[in-house]
Structure 1
Amino acid sequence: MDLEKQDAGRPAPPAHPSSPRQPEAAGEGCLVVAVRLPVRIFVFLVVLPVRMVWDGCVAAARWLDRAVFRPLGRALWWVGRAVFVWPLVGLWRYGLVPLGKALARLGNLVVVVPAGWLYRCVLVPLGHALVWLYGRVLTPFGHGVMWVLRGIAAVSAAIGLGVFAALARLTRYLVVVPCAWLYRWVLTPVGQAVAWCVKGVARLAGMLVTGIGTGLYWITRILLVLPLLAVWRWVLVPVGRVLAVVAREIGDALGHAWRAAGYVSLAVGRFLGALVRWIVVEPARWVYARVLAPVGRAVRDAVLRPAAEAGRAVGRAVRQSLAAARASVRRARADVRRMFLGEQGEPVLADRREPIGGETRTLGSSTTALTKD
């Protein structure tokens, strides 16, 4: 475990230009040196059991993954394929696809063909008729109506312009000119006087608010800000620096302790593996190779093989006895049949082979059942 300080000759990583300046290694105070070693020893003693338990859990998880979960997953995969995938594929291939093709053909015969016939034989002639009606009847009628409406609109516009000009002159001399005189000689002076009064009141209120705000600012600064700034500068900042040093050292100690505990856990694991090997595996292998295998071979050669040969011999004797018994039963049955039914002539076997030599079949010979003498 690395409990010493970092070497002074070790090159430091280049700092980013915008990053704050880090203190030099030589500027570490006595607090850092006094905190580092006890913290690292304590953290190592705390982290070591955790790391060993962690490594044990990792090894157990890898064994379970290799010996249990992967075979179980493959089995579940094959079961899932056999239970879900293959039936669905069969349903799709031999059920839904033929049904879809049949529905497509039915839809073509029921919908597409009648719709095409309706479009060609009904809608197209009706559309041509509507186009002819629009071009030959409705368009000339619409042009005539628009010409009449334009004439009426022109006459109405001439009459409306005269009336509008007269109303505009009356409105100017009766409404606009008196309102402009009233605004210029009455409302404007009154508005300027009211604005001057409002500006004065606003300036006075601003001076009062500024004075009150300045007084409150200095009172707040003296009673709250300066004491809080002193507490921050002379209490919280030093305590924070100490806590930062302690937290940094604890983090570094955790890293070193974790790595050192990994080496210790690896060594303990190898020692336990070697111990299990020499206590359990090697004696079991030696017992198997030196004791069980020779005993098994001796038992096989002295007991199992003779027993197997004896069993085969007994089986052959039993089969022969059964065959003799079946033959005896067969003879007894034949004797009983002869006793009750008498001797029966042996059946004459017909010669079904092709005649050879002079007995070959010809057109003039009577060798068939219909032409023989």
Structure 2
Amino acid sequence: MDLDKPSGEPSVRQPVPRQPDGCLVVAIRLPVRIVALVLVLPVRMAWDALVVAGRFLNRTLLRPLGRALLWLGRVIVVLPLAGLWRYVAVPFGKALARLARVLVVAPLVWCHRCLLTPVGHALAWLYAHVLTPAAIGLGAALAWLARYLVALPARWLYGRVLAPAGRAIAWCVRGVWWLFALLVTGIGRVLYWAVRALVVLVALPASALWRWVLVPVGRVLAVVGREVWDALRHAWRIAGRLSLAVGRILGTLLRWIFVEPVRRVYRSVLTPVGHLVRDVVLRPAAEAARAVGRTGRQALEAARASVRQARADVRRLLFGGPRQPEPVARREPSGRGTRTLDSSTTALTKD
């Protein structure tokens, strides 16, 4: 950190020193950048227009459509599958597990405990007391037979037949190997001189061609490619700034020519007219319509009541009035003669 620099000033990055360019680079750079800018500017403006259109489509169409599709997928797929898993698959799996435990696991445990374990103990006792002594005796007999029928004849065959035959074969192999080594040595010398002649006739001219022709041409092409790449990058950056400026100018013109007049017309003309129409025409019309509706409903109710009364009068004239219910004889006296404890005529309350 530089202690002499004031704390309020931001630190300035030191530029990386760049090596001076040659005359060829300077001669190529300017026309290449001009041509690249002319070619890249329409592409960058079209790209920016596509980006703006894509963002508008994403914000107005694709994102709501994606949310609707997600909600629809959740309602149509996720919720039915969750309900199917929770209310069908899980109870069915639990029932299958209980059924398997009752029909499979319990019988297998009983079979292992009551059948297989006793049979295994019996087989182990048989192996320990019967099969093991028999196996020991059989092994001793087989060892004696193998010694006298296999080992001794094999030793005699190796000493009398195979060893002499192997020595003869080894001597033949050494002779063949000596002939092969002699042949390979001769072929190697021939190949050495052929390769040396090939190097003298082909490699040296190819090396000279690479050093004096291809490397300089490659360096020139590398310089041209680097300058073209730098020119394309600079042209893309400058074209982006130009495209942004053109977009801002077009946006400002669109706002001044179309949006601002429409907004002012809407705010200063359409909104007052709409409020006036609402207060002067629509609200009184709605009140009148509601009053007419209430009057009509009241008239309809009165007409219905009149029709019901007329129908009742006609029924009464034709069929007479409804019958009055006949009085039923009551066991208890009515009115003032109602039985009380004072006026009871039972034997317990007589005077």
User: Do both proteins adopt the same fold according to a TM-score greater than 0.5, normalized to the shorter chain?
Assistant: yes
Counterparts of 1:133 and 1:232, CA distance in 2: 88
Hey, what does 1:244 align to over in structure 2? 222
1:11 maps to amino acid: V
What pairs with 1:40-59 in structure 2 (closer than 5 Å)?
Answer: 40-59=33-52
In terms of mean alpha carbon deviation, does 87-96 or 46-55 score higher? 87-96
Hey, what does 2:144 align to over in structure 1? 153
5+ residue gaps in structure 1?
1-8, 13-23, 349-357, 367-373
User: Which of 114, 132, 136 is the aligned partner of 2:129?
Assistant: 136
Query: Alpha carbons of 1:202 and 1:254: their partners in 2 closer, same or farther (altered >3 Å)?
Result: closer
Hey, what does 1:96 align to over in structure 2? 89
Counterparts of 2:109 and 2:25, CA distance in 1: 93
Counterparts of 2:150 and 2:215, CA distance in 1: 87
Deviation at 1:43, TM superposition (A): 0.8
Query: Alpha carbons of 1:273 and 1:335: their partners in 2 closer, same or farther (altered >3 Å)?
Result: same
Hey, what does 1:25 align to over in structure 2? 19
What pairs with 1:1-373 in structure 2 (closer than 5 Å)?
Answer: 10-12=15-17, 25-26=19-20, 28-143=21-136, 145=137, 149=141, 153=144, 171=160, 214=196, 217-218=199-200, 220=201, 224-344=202-322
5+ residue gaps in structure 2?
1-13, 327-335, 345-351
1:283 maps to amino acid: P
Q: Residue by residue, what CA displacement relative to the aligned partner does 1:165-188 show, whole Å, maximum 9, x if unpaired?
A: 9x69x959xx96xx99x99xxx89
2:144 maps to amino acid: A
1:153 maps to amino acid: W
Q: TM-score, normalised by structure 1?
A: 0.70
Counterparts of 2:62 and 2:290, CA distance in 1: 46
Deviation at 1:140, TM superposition (A): 4.1
Between the aligned residues of both structures, percent identity stands at 53
1:60 maps to amino acid: A
1:36 maps to amino acid: R
Query: Alpha carbons of 1:313 and 1:137: their partners in 2 closer, same or farther (altered >3 Å)?
Result: same
Q: TM-score, normalised by structure 2?
A: 0.73
Deviation at 1:213, TM superposition (A): 5.7
Counterparts of 1:201 and 1:96, CA distance in 2: 80
Counterparts of 1:104 and 1:292, CA distance in 2: 73
Hey, what does 1:21 align to over in structure 2? none
Counterparts of 2:75 and 2:258, CA distance in 1: 43
Deviation at 1:153, TM superposition (A): 2.5
Hey, what does 2:331 align to over in structure 1? none
Query: Alpha carbons of 1:210 and 1:107: their partners in 2 closer, same or farther (altered >3 Å)?
Result: closer
Counterparts of 1:164 and 1:300, CA distance in 2: 124
Counterparts of 1:10 and 1:79, CA distance in 2: 57
1:317 maps to amino acid: T
Counterparts of 2:50 and 2:96, CA distance in 1: 59
Deviation at 1:298, TM superposition (A): 1.0
RMSD value over aligned CA atoms? 4.3
Deviation at 1:339, TM superposition (A): 1.5
SS of equivalent residue, structure 1 residue 11: coil
